[in-house]
Structure 1
């Protein structure tokens, strides 16, 4: 009985610990333009697999948040993606994931951020109007995706974060809502970390920090093959090459003042590909002629979604996994790709748990095999691997929608954008308390009562046996 109670307490502690982790998922508003059948809509999100879902991206106009795509907001002829996004998240079987709006991104560039942060007046305009923008559209917070602040921007970026936090904390929160969250997607590269981030200030005022631990290679200037999202440096890497991995970046952010619990490790659901100079030389650092060709669905040179990698493997490709170095890649003919699958994802998540980080972030939902047609028999194999390794279980998933096209083919101002190179609510504190109380009253209390009753019953039998020892000697056999 004591063993049962002890194991139950351990289970409760594990549940509470799991609820502290974040699974941050980025949704991209341009994946709707991919060729069929891999178009991605808000209805394709499984909200059970994310604690926070970040809508990417918004832009800025006159230092104010503005929709990026023609159908982000509602129109007279269609329901906007913002509303469809919120509706889908609310369909979770458990707590609704927190929703954040990301502003910026690689294609957005750095100049609008420079201009907005250059004066107190410009920052105030952005901050005050951001509250209205987020509240009117139902978002729970803002994600800053400045790629990347330079040395001259370091102070202004820190001021922006501080002033945003102060304004969000001072807001009279609408009934039924919570204070707005504030996060940022930040670089894992040595040069950008040293130049643009006042890490102690960012760590103080941000709720969490999404570390983009990918695209270390494959974005240009490479002379040989290499994995774009290594967990740790390879034994042969020295100098700056030894910094091109997640472990180095995490250690640097922590050593410069970021609490591990606020760091959320970015895990890519896509690979970076190269064209081999010779199909017979397929290892790491093999000579290349450039990036891999654009694929049918992601349509960007050097980028392969997980489902496109699986298609390559299913048609004669070779998978190579180095357990010691946690290195994964595949090749077919003259195509080489470094990527992550369920095995390497679990290795990364186990590492971040051991390191005491706050959770995992994935870029992005539309790159996983969300249709379960090429990589696995169930949708979102990579995201489910994250949840299983991080939380110790796979949440009860929501019935997948097939996705729906925009309600009108009229797309004023719509432009095809590059896929960029980036970037369930575990229970809230109140929800965790409820779970604990339920376990206590439904499991632990009955077990304790049973133990007490059993003890008293045995004591009574022993007492009777002692009183009639001469007559009932067999009681002690």
Structure 2
């Protein structure tokens, strides 16, 4: 059986609360369409670990009225019918943001709303009502692909909305296409947008198209032409003049293609179109990371060191995705360019249940790199989900005596003792650390160091970033 690729840099991360002293924001986007997925790809409020996020963004809940009034309309009543999804998440532990837009046909609705004072007024009223009713902390405007004719109206919308939201202490976020091209400066007034918005989410992957004529990386850090996250970020930093307001978007979902020739597997190879849909998410050209990592033994995994991204293929299927190594590289770009943080799109696409190792494995790479250094400990790496819980019971994490986990029905749930306590495996409870024998015998390894490969990993190896 093939060892589970380099998806995890298994990160130093098991504590669940982001300390308030972290200087970066970590936005967790939740695509509530995940309600419609099946089995391990299904995601609801019980799956959320909001303590790994500073902000939680609810997507696919509301959009502009299709009749053109400008008002906010609910599109996912199933989500809102159960108020615990929003109300039970404390605003002081994780700020909650409602996302508006995000679909291709929303661009015309935004354009008409922003150009009309009456329609803007309807939008403001309905938005404020929604934010108060659902105990939210702000709004993300996801206006995809505005035109040059929308440029001034976009700024005017942000200026007015910021004034209104500031009165009620709500946050204003805006998602933009970060890719370079002639349309970018024509569509966005960088300095003015940065002046009015609290945060600008740099969407680095929205230009990828599984229906295109060739296979392409979803979000290459480096590359030629217009496909370079690093170049796009530098441009936005230079133009906006306020790097701390810029948030780097990280895709946690995978994009799939069908190769025209199964023997030609390099990036840029001809494609017939999107890959076949997975049985759980049932969407062509798309897979959650959990869906993919659970079947990696069937795929040939590669890593492009120049672009700093992984990809894989099997038969005529080709997939582009993110793993711990590629996300870690992007997080170092966040720090280098002094951005305000990162947003993961979306947490529902991560390995929530820890099928392939640690729960929320990709999100925790983000946390380990730009989160507070005071919150990170280590979870044991695993190459096969079958071995995570061989029997029921409570077990101490062998990498961290303060952490432990429960195995029940072959599923693992992680916990942690209070500060100053270790988990006593014999008693099955947390006890003062002085009275618990703690043997943390492990070997540290960091990406880039020699000495190990996927064939000779010692059982006590701890991979850190």
- What TM-score do the two structures reach when normalised by structure 1? 0.70
What is the match of residue 337 of structure 1? 319
* Equivalent residues in 2 for 1:97-176, closer than 5 Å: 97-169=94-166, 171=167, 173=168
SS in 2 for 1:73: helix
User: CA separation of 1:220/1:256 partners in 2, compared to 1, >3 Å: closer, same or farther?
Assistant: farther
SS in 2 for 1:210: strand
The alignment status of 1:190 with 2:172, answered yes or no, reads: no
Q: Tell whether the 8 Å contact from 1:216 to 1:229 is kept in structure 2 after alignment.
A: no
Which among 81, 93, 98 is matched to residue 96 of structure 1? 93
Distance (Å, rounded) in 1 between the aligned partners of 2:106 and 2:140: 16
What is the match of residue 262 of structure 2? 279
Distance (Å, rounded) in 2 between the aligned partners of 1:399 and 1:121: 55
The alignment status of 1:366 with 2:359, answered yes or no, reads: no
User: CA separation of 1:73/1:132 partners in 2, compared to 1, >3 Å: closer, same or farther?
Assistant: same
User: CA separation of 1:399/1:363 partners in 2, compared to 1, >3 Å: closer, same or farther?
Assistant: farther
Distance (Å, rounded) in 1 between the aligned partners of 2:155 and 2:405: 42
The alignment status of 1:34 with 2:24, answered yes or no, reads: no
Distance (Å, rounded) in 2 between the aligned partners of 1:399 and 1:141: 35
* Equivalent residues in 2 for 1:52-451, closer than 5 Å: 52-57=55-60, 58-61=62-65, 62-74=69-81, 79-80=82-83, 83-87=84-88, 89-90=89-90, 96-169=93-166, 171=167, 173=168, 179-191=169-181, 192-222=183-213, 224-233=214-223, 237=224, 242-314=225-297, 316-373=298-355, 375-376=356-357, 378-391=358-371, 392=373
User: CA separation of 1:398/1:71 partners in 2, compared to 1, >3 Å: closer, same or farther?
Assistant: farther
What is the match of residue 421 of structure 1? none
What is the match of residue 398 of structure 2? none
Q: Tell whether the 8 Å contact from 1:218 to 1:273 is kept in structure 2 after alignment.
A: no
Distance (Å, rounded) in 2 between the aligned partners of 1:96 and 1:108: 34
SS in 1 for 2:41: coil
Deviation of the 1:64 alpha carbon: 1.7
User: CA separation of 1:128/1:103 partners in 2, compared to 1, >3 Å: closer, same or farther?
Assistant: same
Q: Tell whether the 8 Å contact from 1:264 to 1:361 is kept in structure 2 after alignment.
A: yes
- What TM-score do the two structures reach when normalised by structure 2? 0.72
Q: Work out the number of aligned pairs and report it.
A: 359
User: CA separation of 1:221/1:280 partners in 2, compared to 1, >3 Å: closer, same or farther?
Assistant: closer
Distance (Å, rounded) in 1 between the aligned partners of 2:340 and 2:80: 32
Deviation of the 1:167 alpha carbon: 1.4
Deviation of the 1:399 alpha carbon: 9.8
Question: 5+ residue gaps in structure 1?
Answer: 1-14, 174-178, 403-477
Write 1 or 2 for the structure with the bigger share of strand: 2
SS in 1 for 2:78: coil
Write 1 or 2 for the structure with the bigger share of helix: 1
Per-residue deviation, residues 293-343 of structure 1 (Å, max 9, x unmatched): 1111222221121112213313x2111113343131111111111110111
Q: What CA RMSD, in Å, does the superposition of the two structures yield over aligned residues?
A: 2.5
